[in-house]
Amino acid sequence: MSAPEPHTRDNAIRGRLNAFFLRLIEPLMEKLFGDDKRRLFADLEGDVVEIGPGTGANLPYYPAGVNLIGIEPSLHMQNALREKAEKMGVPLEVRGLKGEAIDLPDASADAVVATLLLCSVDDPIQVVSEAMRILRPGGKYVFIEHVAAPKGSVLHLWQTLFFRPHHWLFEGCHTNRKTWEVLEAAGFEVLDYEHHTKWSIMFYVAPMIVGHATKPR
Ligand SMILES: C[S@@+](CC[C@H](N)C(=O)[O-])C[C@H]1O[C@@H](n2cnc3c(N)ncnc32)[C@H](O)[C@@H]1O
């Protein structure tokens, strides 16, 4: 297999805006997901790969001692991520790649983390397949994703109305993916998640799935 091409995305205006916005809403992210992250991240250890870590909203939740690799294609996110990791003293290796093609060997990660990721990637099935490939048997996939609201609901209507501006502003983010279907079809041994509604000013992305999965042994 040939090595994946480095993929650094430099979207001059939207990339900067997005990174600025993500940093700005970190306190909101803590309010919405802090308890979930403390619970889901508590037993992570060893080699952990985070796909799409953005500006590093998850860095405070990793237990000390994990070897962390971030797979992040956006140049502006990479810069903010490195800066935050340095400030916090968290050792972190950043690779400018897309999650669809990760340059890590098969069965090399104890855990893979993905939060608010599969809404934004080009090919969610391929990203989850890469996560599965790099996980060791028994390894853990931890996720938080915003997802489609039930068809026919008012929220679903808002997700449709906001789709285009949201997709443009947030560099390809989909308001309404049925991400649980991708995870259910991926072949995990254990898949444990709940649907939650997390209200914020971005009310149309309130429906979430929060959970973890295990690669078959
Ligand atoms: C909404 S942000 C979430 C960031 C972070 N995970 C969080 O919870 O705050 C989505 C992130 O996924 C990254 N991303 C987009 N497409 C990607 C891809 N194909 N592979 C890996 N990361 C990607 C974006 O650059 C961005 O950092």
Identify the CATH number of the domain defined by range 12-214: 3.40.50.150
Phi–psi pair at 79, nearest 5 degrees: -60, -45
Rounded Cα–Cα distance for residues 77 and 37 (Å): 20
73: Cβ below 6 Å to ligand 1? yes
Residue 83 has pLDDT above 60, yes or no: yes
> Is the sign of the CA dihedral 46, 47, 50, 53 positive or negative?
positive
What does the pLDDT read at residue 57?
Answer: 98
* Residues 20-72: tens digit of each pLDDT: 999 999 999 999 999 999 999 999 999 999 999 999 999 999 999 999 999 99
* Residues 121-165: tens digit of each pLDDT: 999 999 999 999 999 999 999 999 999 999 999 999 999 999 999
3-state secondary structure of 105: coil
Distance from residue 73's CA to the centre of ligand 1 (Å): 8
Distance from residue 213's CA to the centre of ligand 1 (Å): 20
Task: Quickly tell me which residue has 């979430």 as its tokens.
Answer: 208
Closest Cα to atom 25, ligand 1: which residue? 74
Q: Which atom of ligand 1 is nearest to the CA of 173?
A: 1
